[in-house]
Structure 1
């Protein structure tokens, strides 16, 4: 057995052992009989219900694409922080996932979707309002989570670092969404130009 294979097998074994320990911890302290578990369930379900009622379904694709961007980028950052032990969610809805499903897959994306929908509909400055939301999430919501032991810093990371991740997320999500909307518009314009030409050629051969 090569040194590389031996090292990899050792890491896999430690990873499996760590997963077992997290499952045991969840069963002991964060399962169905704790208020923290149900808090995470509510945090996951409630924003999605609100989104179903408040979303502009005529723009569902655009809003959903933007929200999925927020979800993916925020999950990447949150997953990095938890796997590097910069921070921890002591209580979880799902024990097999290192980050908070309620935050990453529901609350944060929904909040940003609603702000994005409002700013684009009323021609407001997207970056100002998402910056205000990022300040709220980083310096008000997360300290409340810390106060109730729902979130814990373990190392050098702090609230300002969380705020920086939000800044990156809102910029990436907006730029990527704008790019794809631009490409969709261009494709539609080309299709509109090609269609009359096709009709014209067909009419000549009739």
Structure 2
């Protein structure tokens, strides 16, 4: 039992040391005085502003629920990748989050929300267009981010791995949203 808590204490100490290193790194290389920090701020603010003007308010809850799914799943995958050392973001809004807040909480969810809104309003195939958007983000946007030092790979991770995560996120987000829509319809039909 003692060895369990010794190991747990050792892990906690290492995590505290890593958190301290990130705070130092952020202060010296990623804070308010860097263009990358402000790029992430803009990448966070602009998509939300766009969503404010483009959101179909008659379906705001459904589209928002879908977007929240994308945000959560993308955040989990992105955190996994950064914590495991597969990739990192040299510039961040905060040293307390290992990810790109602009990507995880705004750009990616908003793009998928607007796509979801469009495909459901026009009876287009969600999976085809979502895969195209995932490919665009994985094979066009991320290489641009790598070239301007906004994203960095480690340990053999690559763009195809990112694309695979988008496939999982696309499927999970749609299935969960559809499941809750089914629950809503089912409960409405029982009331009627």
Q: Give distance in 2, aligned partners of 1:82 and 1:94.
A: 14
Deviations 1:42-78 (A, max 9, x none): 0000000000000001101100000000000111110
Deviations 1:136-167 (A, max 9, x none): 00000000000001000011210000000000
Q: Which runs of 4+ in 1 moved over 3 A?
A: none
- Count residues in correspondence: 192
TM-score when scaled to structure 1? 0.92
The answer to whether residue 122 in structure 2 is matched with residue 122 in structure 1 is yes
Query: Rg bigger for which structure?
Result: 1
Structure 1 counterpart of 2:58:
58
Structure 1 counterpart of 2:134:
134
Q: Give distance in 1, aligned partners of 2:122 and 2:29.
A: 46
Instruction: Map 1:20-31; keep pairs closer than 5 Å.
Output: 20-31=20-31
Unaligned runs of 5+ in 1: 193-206
Structure 1 counterpart of 2:168:
168
Instruction: Map 1:25-40; keep pairs closer than 5 Å.
Output: 25-40=25-40
Q: Give distance in 2, aligned partners of 1:14 and 1:124.
A: 49
Deviations 1:77-109 (A, max 9, x none): 100000000001111111111111100000000
Q: Give distance in 2, aligned partners of 1:2 and 1:138.
A: 45
